[in-house]
Chain A
Amino acid sequence: MRSASAKSARLTRAAGLALALFPALIFASLTGCTKNSDPANTVRFALTTEPPNLNSMQATDQSSFFVLGHVMEGLTRNGPDGAPVPGVAEKWEMNDAGATFYLRKNAKWSDGKPVTANDFIFAWRNVLDPKTASEYAFILYPVKNAEAINKGKLPVSDLGVAAVDDYTLKVTFEKPCGYFMALTSFATYFPVREDFFRQKGDKYAAEAADMLYNGAFKLTSWVHGASLTFDKNADYWNSSAVKLDRISIPYITPDNTARFNFFKEKKTDILDLAKDDLPRAQSENFRLMNHADGSVWFMEFNFREGKPTRNKNLRKAIQLIFDTEEYVNKVVGIPGTKPGKTLIPSWVRGVQDNFRREFPYAPPARNLVEAKKLVELAKKELGGSIPPLVWLTGDTPASAREAEYFQSQFKEHLGLELRIDKQIFKQRLALMSSGQFDIVSAGWGPDFADPMTFAELMTSWNENNRGKWTNDQYDALIRKAQSTSDQKIRMAAMADAEKIALDELAVLPTNERSVIWTHHERLQGVGRSIIGMDPDFTYASIVEGK
């Protein structure tokens, strides 16, 4: 018996050794450091999602626009102040009837062939072809017959665009379009070469080799879900101004903390921070900067039949208890977030200067006494009482914080119940479309650098007008702004229309969003843009030793 227990003790010891060795064994199998073959002038950046579609004629999302903006170029590019600067087009002329673009002769595809007017015509026709089913087809609607073609009423050959010669592109407008130049840098307007596209068929843009590039960089490797590499395009007409040799996306992950760690390990050079990571970023002494991403956030009221939010006194009461400064500082809590006062945000350009300086608008200040009176009035008008209001929102922690803040504000100052309906993305959109809410917390990011991208939002014909607010005067003013290229008339009409929407409380703006970001010192000259690709590495550089 004793000897058996001694043996078992020996066994335990042997096993104990194995126990200690087991993790060591695992670690011993490691293959050493990964080698880094990137050239010195490489910027590294982690994407949150893989670009779902790099076919410029179908792309709709930020990741794809980020990649496309670096590897392709349209007629124009977005200048630093939002005004278009020459891209493939060297110069252009525009009037009420249309525009003529003179393409530079040294703009080349990555196989060395020149970029011609026909490449634009092919891409635009293809976007509008109902078979392509492009979601962004509407952005081409200012071109003559575009909408009719997209609805299948006219053949694509009827599109109001023609190649005078290989380097002259003539565009005819459906009606005068004062913001057309702002559209020409958008990805949907990028050129695509017909012979290459036909050769690739369904697989166009599925892999790095299935695309032709005419931008400052070309995509040289794309491992789906894992990494992307763009190398400097020596054939790019302005390549002497491009200092980077490579843009590398070594990681793709939606996990904020993981991206934080990659940045901290100096595996990436630039990082957008989530709110929850701000304290950690501060303790690491990262130099924090903010970037207004151009989007506007608001409460959108439901104007469908039978909804209490149709009552103007109720909406007015809600406005009078809302203090945007308090909300931005205490609830949003991201430095750089601007108070929400208007539908057309503070960054947009007007006739000559900033739109908001040219056309100021100030909502009434918080007035709790008046708000109480108005809510009583509203109760009377609605037949004695107001049922709990449904607040439709997203499933992020920020959405929850916001909803709870308004819930307590409504209760405290108006005596109203707010029922929070948290939904995941697609379900929230479905409920917004079918009108199953009283108030929805919504936002709008601009498609192009013109107030119109915001102003047309509340028109009766806009599918994004989820609350179904309608106002004939508003519609008429927007139509007026859409049918002239006279900047003074356009801007004034949009400002007048916006005033109606805000006075009537079609929406109640809450804030203009800001993103907190940081970068390592070695990365210089990175552009943060509101329109197009963001971040913009085209003219960035790497300065070693910093």
Chain B
Amino acid sequence: MFSYIGKRLTAGLVTVFFIASVTFAAMHIVPGDPLMGNKAMSPEIRANLEHKYGLDRPVAEQYVRYLANMAQGDFGISFTQKNRTVNDIIVSHFPISAILGILAVAFAALGGILYGSLAALGRGKWSDRTIMFLVILGVSVPSFVFAALGQLSLTLINKKAGFEVLPVGGWGTLSHMILPALVLGLGTMAFLTRLMRSALLEIVHQDYIRTAKAKGLPPVRIFFSHQLRNAILPVITYLGPAIATITTGGFVVESVFAIPGLGRYFVQAIQQLDYTVIMGLTVFYGAFLVFMVITVDIVYGLVDPRISVTKGKS
């Protein structure tokens, strides 16, 4: 088990190193640089800035310094927020994205499992058809539409109610998180619903279900201890990367609801070509994704005893 984890972690480190290198190369290939602003600078002022950020050194040296600093967990100082380090930015904004992401994933997982089961149980009936129609909507409509619609509906609801049912934006209390988390999790929930439904339908025809029925187990027990437990595996597989992408990909939702999450900083950094922030956050996100995938593999073994991470049986 431990050697397996060790191996996976080493592979993860190599992946992160690769991500870091590719990001560094991409940054230096695209035209423009972080020092460019609306107003051009004199060569002297530019030289002062380049010196301050070490951009006057050869690219190879910059690369080595960047890797060396990164190995020590130092991502450098932001080019746009000159008195904040990338570490400061991650420390103060990642928890916000994480809380929002976890809420969204919890919502997506619960909803996905619930609605997927419902659709599978009522296969072909109105409940199935309604849910599958909503699923198609959920999967295909981009989140900025849901975000804008959600916010607009909320202004109408608040107006009708005459008091503030939920705040339309901002951050601070649980009430601020509900709508953004719903919107953020909607796409994933729709996908999980479909995944859950098809997994359940496949399992219905398995021999062990027939056996269970034959020995007279009540449907509720068959459902919970045989069907659900088996059908949930693909959901868990999907959930790991989903946590990573939801936690990191909330830019639109963060903008619409004015939430100070990390996603917004990431997109702004890309627009500003803020080298240190882009590289720092990409590596951080990459490492986070790798970590989630490894975690899921381990959890997988716990949920499904047939899968053993150490012996390579399938």
Chain A positions within 8 Å of B, measured between CB atoms, are 4, 7-8, 11-12, 15-16, 18-19, 22, 26-27, 29-34, 46, 49-50, 52-53, 55, 58, 60, 130-135, 137-138, 150-152, 202-206, 223-227, 250-255, 257-258, 261-262, 264-265, 267, 424-427, 429-431, 433-434, 445, 462-464, 466
Contact = CB atoms under 8 A, between A and B. Distances in A.
Contacts of B223: 11
Contacts of A135: 37, 39, 41, 45, 49
A49 B268 contact: yes
A253 B32 contact: no
Interface in B77-97: 78, 80-84, 88-89, 92-93
B58 interface: no
A140 to B, nearest CB: 11
Contacts of A430: 31-33, 36
Looking at A4, A34, A134, which has the most chain B CB atoms within 10 Å of its CB?
A: A34
Nearest to A253: B258
A306 to B, nearest CB: 20
Nearest to B39: A464
B220 A7 contact: yes
Looking at B30, B36, B110, B178, which has the most chain A CB atoms within 10 Å of its CB?
A: B36
Contacts of B211: none
B107 A26 contact: yes
B215 to A, nearest CB: 13
Contacts of B273: 426
A265 B168 contact: yes
Contacts of B178: 26-27, 29-30
A427 B220 contact: no
B114 interface: yes
A378 B157 CA distance: 63
B176 A34 contact: yes
B257 interface: yes
Given A29-B174, A30-B174, A135-B41, A427 B48 contact: no
Interface in B92-150: 92-93, 107, 110-111, 114-115, 117-118, 121-122, 127, 148
A429 B36 contact: yes
B170 interface: yes
Looking at A22, A50, A429, A445, which has the most chain B CB atoms within 10 Å of its CB?
A: A429
A32 B168 CA distance: 13
A204 B258 contact: no
A226 B59 CA distance: 36
Interface string B36-66: 1111111111001101100000000000000
B258 A258 contact: yes
Contacts of A16: 118, 127
A257 B148 contact: yes
B36 A258 contact: no
Contacts of B82: 52-53, 55, 58
B114 A18 contact: yes
A204 B83 CA distance: 7
Interface in B175-189: 175-176, 178, 182
A478 B256 CA distance: 47
A18 to B, nearest CB: 6
Contacts of B257: 253, 258
B174 A15 contact: no
Contacts of B40: 433, 462-464, 466
A384 to B, nearest CB: 33
Given A15-B121, A258-B258, A32 B169 contact: no
B107 A429 contact: no
A150 B44 contact: yes
A137 B174 CA distance: 45
A4 B221 CA distance: 12
Looking at A29, A135, A462, which has the most chain B CB atoms within 10 Å of its CB?
A: A135
Nearest to B122: A12
Given A224-B92, A250-B170, A12 B127 contact: yes
Given A12-B121, A52-B80, A133-B51, A253 B115 contact: no
Interface stretch (B158-166, B194-202, B293-301): B158-166
Given A7-B218, A19-B118, A60-B37, A131 B151 contact: no
A224 B121 CA distance: 48
B48 A133 contact: yes
B164 to A, nearest CB: 5
B158 A22 contact: no
A261 B20 CA distance: 39
Contacts of B81: 50, 52-53
Nearest to B34: A426
User: Which 9 A-B pairs have CB atoms at the shortest separation, nearest pair first?
Assistant: A225-B260, A463-B40, A430-B32, A426-B32, A251-B258, A226-B260, A253-B258, A133-B48, A430-B31
16 contacts: A8-B219, A18-B114, A29-B178, A30-B174, A53-B82, A55-B82, A133-B52, A134-B45, A135-B41, A225-B264, A253-B257, A257-B256, A261-B155, A426-B36, A430-B33, A463-B43
Contacts of B110: 22
A115 to B, nearest CB: 22
Contact of B220 (A11, A26, A60): A11
B260 A427 contact: no
B52 A131 contact: yes
A455 to B, nearest CB: 15
